[in-house]
Amino acid sequence: MFFGTASTIFILPPSAIIRQDGTLVKVEAASSVRKELKNFIKVVKDKRILLLLPMFFASNYFYAYQGAVNAFYFDGATRKCPSIYSSLYPCAH
């Protein structure tokens, strides 16, 4: 992790980068907050994103359910192993 952080010293600004064909990298201007919100609402209204909402809910419900089951069935000493697994499970994705 330290190497990745330290290596940011060597990153060039986009204006100093020249492609192999000799063209410069173009930096796009920042969008306004209003335009970003408008585009965000457009994406959220998309049918494909709306169809994903039940999966988002199920994923978050699973974590809470798993924690409640561990708390109910295991005592303090044996609750350690399943809780470590359940805390590392999101990192495995």
For residues 2 and 35, give the distance between their C-alpha atoms in angstroms, rounded to a whole number.
Answer: 37
DSSP-derived letter for residue 14 is G
- The pTM assigned to this predicted structure is 0.45
pLDDT band at residue 20 using 50, 70 and 90 as cut-offs: very high
In the predicted structure, residue 30 carries a pLDDT above the cut 80: yes
pLDDT at 33: 96
- Averaged pLDDT, 37-66: 87
Which of the two residues, 11 and 72, has the higher pLDDT score?
11
- Averaged pLDDT, 44-64: 86
Q: Where are the domains of the chain?
A: 54-93
